[in-house]
Chains A and B, each alone.
Chain A
Amino acid sequence: MKSCLIIEDSKVVRTVIKRIVERFGFESREAENGQEGFDFCCTSMPDIAIVDQYMPAVSGTQFLEKLKDLKPPRLPLIIFCSADNNVEHIKTALDKGADEYIMKPFDGEIMRAKFTLLGLLNAEGKSA
């Protein structure tokens, strides 16, 4: 089963994302901030991480930088998911290594579309 790490400080949003990705057939783990997410990655690298930008301690972009410095053999796919929909900020997240970006608010259909774009779901919506 593929694994998805949800790095997000809002418990409500974490729960929403968790329900969506579990419906896609992914095992999910949750982290409240970038540091906790980074610690998770040090023990076991997920297949995909859904990352918020603004979090206490370590932000989304800082998490991406730390992850790169770790030089792991395999980086997870990264979907940034933020209410910050400023075009410049989106570009920054992409430059720092995000593979996709979801502008909040979002729904299950958008999450499904992004997972499909990244090749994590096939055309039938099953875990690929």
Chain B
Amino acid sequence: MRLTDFDVYRDILREKAGILIALDKTSLLDSRLSPVAKRWGYASVELMTLSLKAVPEKQLVEDVVEAMSDHDTCFFQSGAHFNALKNDILPYFLNTLQPFGKIRIWSLGCATGQEAWSLALLLKECAPRLAEGQCEILATDMSRQMLNRAREASYSQYEVQRGLPIRTILKYFTRNGDNWQLNGTIQKMVRFEPFNLLKKMDKFGEFQVIFCHGVLGALDPDVREKTLKNLGLRLAHDGFLFVNDVAVVPEGPGQLTALPGHAGIYVSPDSPAIARIMKIE
């Protein structure tokens, strides 16, 4: 790929998704964009680039952003975070939630949905009282194609086996040809919505738990800082923000503080949950 062509894609990704790509990713650009060029009827990526420069058609730009975003995910990825949720954080909410209170959970950048379904499965298994109407799980992604796949909740044999215990597969999935279909009771627990993190997130309200996994690493540093600040504002007073690419998070992201003993979990400095979870009380 020519350097001037690289600039076209770098600008699109930065502007539309806040994603930063390095020059050494040129080969990745070629391999991921070839299928898009083919689908749109261009004989080569170069011809598609020329066309994008002349008329940046909205749908084509969306397809390019989608092809360049990382979608690789599996069930219960970042196991330590799911363990913390199960052992410390869900018990905290089980103890403190008012009878009609709700725990609101957000899976940001949900891609093909495994993280959101893992959250639903964890609640169903470990906090059935919350799963029965005291929880709301929102999963967002900027790619509509990904959201459609996530909503379908149908996974290949490879996908279900990456992260799910066999007993969970048998209990909550039904075999459908070569795929495994998640049962309706779990499907009802998650709401999927398109969302681009360059846009305002106030409309979603406040959350007790935000999972922001595999999102921050690819972002332009400015966008990352703004995103963390905005996520901090979306967090309930005693909420928890989970981030797996900790290396890129500044100290005190968005006025939050790290939860001691838990890598990648952030809370408000005066959160009443800290003392409970650290068992200081």
Contacts and interface: CB of A to CB of B under 8 A. Distances in A.
Partners in one complex: yes
Interface of A: 85, 87, 90-91, 94, 100-103, 106-107, 109-110, 113-114, 116-117, 123
Given A90-B170, A91-B170, A110 B158 contact: yes
Contacts of A107: 158
Interface string B150-192: 0000000110011101110010000100000000000000000
Contacts of B162: 109-110, 113
Nearest to B161: A110
25 contacts: A85-B157, A85-B175, A87-B170, A87-B175, A90-B166, A90-B170, A91-B170, A100-B166, A101-B166, A102-B161, A103-B157, A103-B161, A106-B161, A107-B158, A109-B74, A109-B162, A110-B161, A113-B161, A113-B162, A113-B163, A114-B161, A116-B79, A117-B165, A123-B79, A123-B80
B261 to A, nearest CB: 14
Interface of B: 74, 78-80, 157-158, 161-163, 165-167, 170, 175
Contacts, number: 33
A94 B161 contact: no
Closest 6 CB pairs of A and B: A101-B166, A110-B161, A123-B80, A113-B162, A123-B79, A113-B163
Nearest to A103: B157
Q: A interface, by DSSP: helix, strand, loop or mixed?
A: helix
A109 B160 CA distance: 12
Contacts of B166: 90, 94, 100-101
Given A85-B157, A85-B175, A109-B74, 12 more contacts: A87-B170, A90-B166, A90-B170, A100-B165, A102-B161, A103-B157, A106-B158, A107-B158, A110-B161, A113-B161, A113-B162, A116-B79
Nearest to A80: B166
B246 to A, nearest CB: 13
Nearest to B163: A113
A62 to B, nearest CB: 20
Contacts of B78: 123
Contacts of A91: 170
Nearest to B77: A113
A101 B157 CA distance: 12
Nearest to A112: B162
A85 B167 CA distance: 13
Contacts of A110: 158, 161-162
A116 to B, nearest CB: 7
A101 B161 CA distance: 9
Nearest to B157: A103
B77 to A, nearest CB: 10
A123 B80 CA distance: 7
B159 to A, nearest CB: 10
A89 B63 CA distance: 43
